[in-house]
Amino acid sequence: MNSVSPRSFRKRFPLPCFAALLLLAGCATGPKFYSEDYLAGISEQQFSQLKQELPRATDPEAIALVERVSRRIANAMADEMPAADWEFVLFRQDSANAFAMPGGKIGVFTGLLDFVDSDAELAAVIGHEIAHVELEHANQRMSAEALRALGGVGAVVLTEDMEEDDRNKVLLAYGIGTQLGAILPYSRYHEREADRRGLMIAARAGYDPRAALTFWEKMQGAGGSAPPEFLSTHPSYRTRLQTLREAMPEALALYRANRPQL
């Protein structure tokens, strides 16, 4: 089997490919190539399609829970997201998941409610999802993927004179390198950022942020086996709980300043 020595690899691997790797690795808070209006328009179309394809929940209490918590958090975010056209839908799906899209579209799956014992626990999840939107993570991830694709095109073009075996190794190295060295760490960074910001969003809406810990501890207990963190788009439960505990003093101060007076 032929192999490429480190010196030969450095010589043959195109400089633009290294540049793309460096750009991806360094884009923790950017770039953002797309307008938020454009992304909101795409989200509107995708959300409409989901509403056509996925069954809606019919339990009035569960629907009221999602509407109540989501609306309260949305009201707390009125200054940060004034252009949001909020819509909250509970889908009848077993997955313990929720999502938020640019423009203010929020979906919750009924499977998530099996782990929710209070409004505050649901607020922890919805606050996390809205944080992704406020922080423009979708824009940043799409932009990072565009950079990665551009680097991939450069790699294909600039390696066309290589021997096939060497070229395949270079392209494979680029694909694996950008995935493990940039895209996955980038996604985990966004998740940690949304965990912290989401905690503050829920607290500002008057929900006890300590509920985030009880919720994620339950999710950890039900999570089963998981891949190593470096192979995942999300932090491990242990990392996630550590992030929340570190941010808790600030979140509790915000909650005490905003909790409803009984």
CB neighbourhood size of 260 (10 A)? 8
Active site residue 129: yes
Active-site option among 36, 121, 129, 164: 129
* Residues tagged active-site: 129
